[in-house]
Structure 1
């Protein structure tokens, strides 16, 4: 077997990672859809209680991230992105499972997320047990002014014990 296997390393992130988060986000999110957050939005969110960031690196280079928050016994996946150069390596799935495990450890019983209609990530969310529970018409506004629906997904988090 030839080639090199690069392992994905996951770690807790913080405000010091926002520069790289922004780079990944700008590369990962197509500007046509208006899904990317600004650095100020990310910084503001990270300053709130119950918010955490997970960074995925390959060979020391940040290639993905997930931002989530917990309120009472529910959590929300706010952002999940993988740099296009590192897609199809299991990064998004590893990040999503890390968020779910962290949420479980924080006493969460249900986790929510929102995704643009037609986003390829839906297959990942469904594979990890999320089900569509709602829809927001014309929620995302792309750069051209075009509107896109948002779909809300949720899954219960059960203890493994």
Structure 2
């Protein structure tokens, strides 16, 4: 993937691309991937948007977020393994933050499973842990994982 990274708006018409990316990006043992029905249902929600990352014409990742009043939430982000370590995740998080601020959000929140390797990405993007839900997620083998709530200011 040597072609320039582009971040584009997405729509329900991009759902197949989103589902393929999600299948490649999420380890099924944690059960974190959303179903197509969940994604389709969310895409009609007011204040919600989808962005796509592409290296040339190749799908590289996506992010789904929403703004409610003055707070934004990064609901879902996925980067294909072939597009990792190329700035794809950082570009998606940066664009979500930009859009959220432009839509009046003063804070950007997200929740992730404890042990998620994306923690490095979020830390580099200015997120800090603000809460924890012990045993919130249940893995495929019935193991339990804490949910970690992260937040960052959008006031700049």
TM-score of the pair, normalised by structure 2: 0.97
- Tell me what 2:40 maps to: 43
Q: Which runs of 5+ in 2 are unaligned?
A: none
Q: State the distance in 2 between where 1:137 and 1:37 align.
A: 21
Q: State the distance in 1 between where 2:135 and 2:26 align.
A: 18
The yes-or-no answer on 1:88 pairing with 2:85 is yes
2:64 to 59, 64, 67: 67
CA RMSD of aligned residues (A): 1.1
Count of residues in Structure 1 that have an aligned counterpart in Structure 2:
156
Write out aligned runs for 1:1-161 (5 A): 5-159=2-156
Q: State the distance in 1 between where 2:144 and 2:151 align.
A: 23
Q: Which runs of 5+ in 1 are unaligned?
A: none
TM-score of the pair, normalised by structure 1: 0.94
- Structure with bigger gyration radius: 1
